[in-house]
Amino acid sequence: MSAQQGSAAEELFASAYGYDPAGVWAAPGRVNVIGEHTDYNAGFVLPMAIDRYTLVAAAPRTDGRLRLVSSAEDRASAEIAVSELAPGQLATSAAPDKASPDTSWTAYPAGVAWAMLRAGALPADFGGADLAFSSTVPVGAGLSSSAALECATVLALAGLAGGEPGPAELARLAQQAENDYVGVPCGPLDQLASSFGADGSVLFIDTRDLQIAPLPFDLAAAGLTLLVCDTRAQHDLGESGYPARRASCEKAAAVLGLGSLRELGEDGESGTTERALEAARDLLDEVSFRRVRHVVTENARVRAFIDLLAAGPLGGHGADADRALAAGKLMTASHRSLRDDFEVSCVELDLVVEAALHGGAYGARMTGGGFGGSAIALVPLDRVDRVVEAVGAALPQTVFFPAVAARGAHRVR
């Protein structure tokens, strides 16, 4: 995160409100290396926070008003009374030339304030706040711009009230805002990645018990990069098939008599997973079975990826190169499962993945909820130009940048 970005949030605050903020807080977006749509099934995920941040400059108020302004969307601004915060009650636009409220983003910080008040993380007499947001996390790219916005807001409001929630509490409050206020039934992956992120590390998260283990992931030192390929195909989890996929998984678990799909063949003994899937096939319709098969095999792919990391660094020579190639194959298998069994990919994502592989990537997959957004590719540094050229020829609108594992949510100043 650059000092310039922090200054941009402060400058926006001063311009919008006419005085200086009390502080600046930041939270990152994320890529999920592997382990997609497993988090709300109590499964395994492997995300990392990236060096793209949402910052919020903030100061307290005493009149019970929450005022919001963003550097995006032509400096969209909004305002709501703290006493009126409730699910479905969005902040109203303060711009006089707009006939209707701008609801593209305001529900997230409003929802955070509501969730924190409900949980007692803000005092009952919370007097409101002025908040100004600046971000380099692409919106709609499947890189958790909403989680970054939520986590930064939690830290800012807590900081104004004299508190500093730990990363687990931070993630819980942010997820609660998105689930219960915004109405998106996301799992905990995005908020946990944004709050627990660590420089040079991926996070191995068991979402059943929220055990989190940072693992070294210094790809540059190994001659590799994780290339983000933003298709620019917009994705919106609240309007996509995401809620339907979650409901389908929960229904299948109930039919199978399980608390979650994580439990299906989880003892790890040879052949257990395959036998459990075959038994499940007889109890489920074809679509539900394919949803279950993705979750079960995706959990196995995460475990296999972790085993590769435990055996040594991914790299460009000898056994290190073999591990990198194996990791890439797991990523590609993950994409094909998401495409065929879970059906959350799209034409643009499929084009990018296949083009990246044709250009020399070790592996590639969509990342995030799907239905648009970004793909990631594991690429040797000496092949990056070839991969970019191949993907650009297949989908010229694609925007590229390397994903660098970065620090999680924190106070900037």
Under the banding of pLDDT at 50, 70 and 90, the label for residue 235 is low
Taking alpha carbons only, the member of 253, 50, 261, 78 closest to residue 138 is 50
Predicted confidence band at 230 (pLDDT cuts at 50, 70, 90)?
very high
Task: Render pLDDT for 143-172 as a digit per residue (tens, 0 to 9).
Answer: 999 999 999 999 999 999 999 999 999 999
Expressed in angstroms, the distance from the first to the final Cα of the chain is 13
Integer-rounded Cα Rg, in Å, for the chain is 21
The pLDDT tens digits for 97-132 are: 433 333 468 999 999 999 999 999 999 999 999 999
Using a 10 angstrom Cβ sphere, with 0-12 exposed, 13-18 middle and 19 or more buried, the burial of residue 247 is exposed
Say which of 39, 51, 190, 350 is annotated catalytic. Answer: 190
Question: Three-state DSSP class for 226?
Answer: strand
Q: How far is CA 86 from CA 69, 80, 183, in A?
A: 20, 11, 12
Rounded CA separation 226/381 (Å) = 10
Q: Domain-by-domain residue ranges, the chain?
A: 3-211+407-411
Task: Point out which residues pair with 132 in neighbouring strands.
Answer: 57, 69
Question: Mean pLDDT in the chain?
Answer: 92
For 3-211+407-411, CATH number?
3.30.230.10
Nearest to 203 by CA among 168, 161, 253, 239: 168
Q: How confident is the model at residue 267 (pLDDT cuts 50, 70, 90)?
A: low
Q: DSSP E strands: which ranges in 246-373? A: 363-367
pLDDT of the residue at 93: 46
Whole-number pLDDT of residue 209: 94
Q: Which of 4-8, 22-26, 401-405 has the lowest mean pLDDT?
A: 4-8
Task: Tell me the two tokens of residue 60.
Answer: 């307290």
φ, ψ at 85 (rounded to 5°): -65, 125
In 3D space, the residue among 206, 391, 223, 212 whose CA is nearest the CA of residue 323 turns out to be 223
Please check the confidence at residue 270 and state whether its pLDDT lies above 60. no
Q: What are the distances in angstroms from CA 162 to CA 6, 102, 155, 159?
A: 21, 30, 10, 5
Average of per-residue pLDDT across 253-263:
96
125 is catalytic: no
Convert the pLDDT of each residue in 41-99 to its tens digit.
999 999 999 999 999 999 999 999 999 999 986 678 899 999 999 997 666 544 434 33
Cα 72 to the center of its chain, rounded Å: 19
